């Protein structure tokens, strides 16, 4: 088994356009020189501009895949993407923790696609409080954070996870991310405010997998978020279409 690169696992949906989900995560892992492994939570039918259908994989199969990979490879960081509901997420996180309690876990809480296709069962949001205590970082966009905040999930910041609120949907200070960690609020500004950033399908997936990669490489949460922002800025400026190019 190779030992040159840390092993990182994505637990996410499959997007046949390659712009989001597992495909985007693996591309990001490769660019950042970590060894990417993948577990599929859902099969989707989509293009870069619309999601047409989604079929969830059986939870037992997902858990079995995690079990096999984590018992055969020393996985140091895990990125979780689309999941069906709070129970789905809880069982996935518990499985990871039961095998490697030290693994870094990042959840990108994809509630809806940009084209308004619903993924996560919003009726179960109130059940997330306990599982968030077992996650290191979540990366909601501005709108997703407001939805999660309605349920008072972050009322006790000492016992909850760190939160990176992505700024791509903000009306003010567009592109400025906010990291909430240990009761502190840290602003992460765009590197070059004169750059032209083009909307990209899967940009949330790419950012969260870049952050996960840097956590696996030994960075702390703030450093990983800052380095992840550099990666996503390259992705957003790579071309003018909805499918971005990966480079580091």
Q: Which two tokens stand for residue 128?
A: 């997330």
Range 18-28 burial, b when 16+ CB lie within 10 A, else e: bbbbbbbbbbb
Task: Give the pLDDT band (50/70/90) at residue 245.
Answer: very high
Q: How far is CA 215 from CA 17, 31, 142, 212, in A?
A: 27, 15, 23, 5
The pLDDT of residue 114? 67
> pLDDT tens across 181-218, in order?
988 999 999 988 778 889 999 999 999 999 999 999 99
Domain-located, residue 27: yes
Residue 243 domain-assigned? no
Q: What is the pLDDT of residue 102?
A: 97
In a domain, 15, yes or no: yes
Per-residue model confidence (pLDDT) at position 160: 74
247 is a domain residue? no
Residue range of the domain that includes 215: 7-236
- Domain presence at residue 246: no
The pLDDT tens digits of the residues spanning 157-171 come to 555 799 999 986 666
pLDDT in tens, 85-139: 999 999 999 999 999 999 999 999 988 766 677 899 999 999 999 999 999 999 9
Q: What is the mean pLDDT of residues 171-188?
A: 88
* Confidence (pLDDT) at 139: 97
Is the pLDDT reported for residue 153 higher than 80? Answer: yes
176, part of any domain: yes
Task: Report pLDDT for 112.
Answer: 76
Tell me what pLDDT residue 67 has. 98
Q: What are the residue ranges of helices labelled H in the chain?
A: 21-31, 59-72, 86-99, 129-132, 142-149, 203-216, 221-236
Q: How many domains does the chain have?
A: 1
Residue 18 has pLDDT above 60, yes or no: yes
Q: Is residue 245 a part of any domain in this protein?
A: no
Rg for the chain, CA atoms, rounded = 17
Q: What is the CATH number of the domain that holds 56?
A: 3.40.1190.20
Q: Is residue 2 part of a domain?
A: no
Q: For residues 186-205, b (16+ Cβ closer than 10 Å) or e, as one string? A: eebebeeeeeebeebbbbbb
């Amino acid at each position: 088994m190779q030992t040159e690169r840390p092993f990182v696992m994505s637990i996410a949906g499959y997007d046949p356009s390659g712009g989001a989900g597992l495909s985007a995560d693996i591309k990001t892992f490769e660019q950042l020189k970590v060894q990417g492994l993948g577990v599929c939570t859902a099969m989707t039918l989509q293009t870069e501009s619309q999601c047409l259908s989604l079929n969830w994989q059986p939870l037992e199969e997902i858990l079995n895949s995690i079990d096999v990979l984590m018992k055969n490879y020393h996985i140091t960081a895990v990125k979780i993407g689309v999941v069906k509901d709070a129970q789905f997420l809880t069982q996935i996180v518990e499985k990871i923790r039961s095998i490697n309690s030290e693994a870094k876990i990042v959840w990108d809480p994809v509630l809806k696609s940009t084209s308004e296709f619903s993924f996560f069962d919003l009726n179960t949001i109130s059940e997330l409080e306990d599982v968030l205590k077992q996650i290191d970082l979540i990366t909601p966009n501005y709108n997703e954070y407001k939805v999660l905040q309605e349920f008072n999930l972050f009322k006790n910041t000492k016992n909850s996870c760190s939160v990176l609120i992505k700024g791509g949907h903000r009306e003010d200070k567009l592109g400025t991310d906010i990291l909430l960690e240990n009761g502190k609020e840290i602003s992460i500004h765009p590197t070059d405010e004169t750059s032209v950033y083009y909307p990209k399908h899967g940009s949330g997936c790419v950012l969260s997998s870049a952050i996960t990669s840097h956590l696996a490489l030994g960075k702390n949460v703030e450093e990983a978020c800052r380095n992840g922002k550099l990666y996503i800025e390259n992705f957003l400026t790579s071309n003018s279409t909805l499918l971005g190019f990966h480079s580091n």
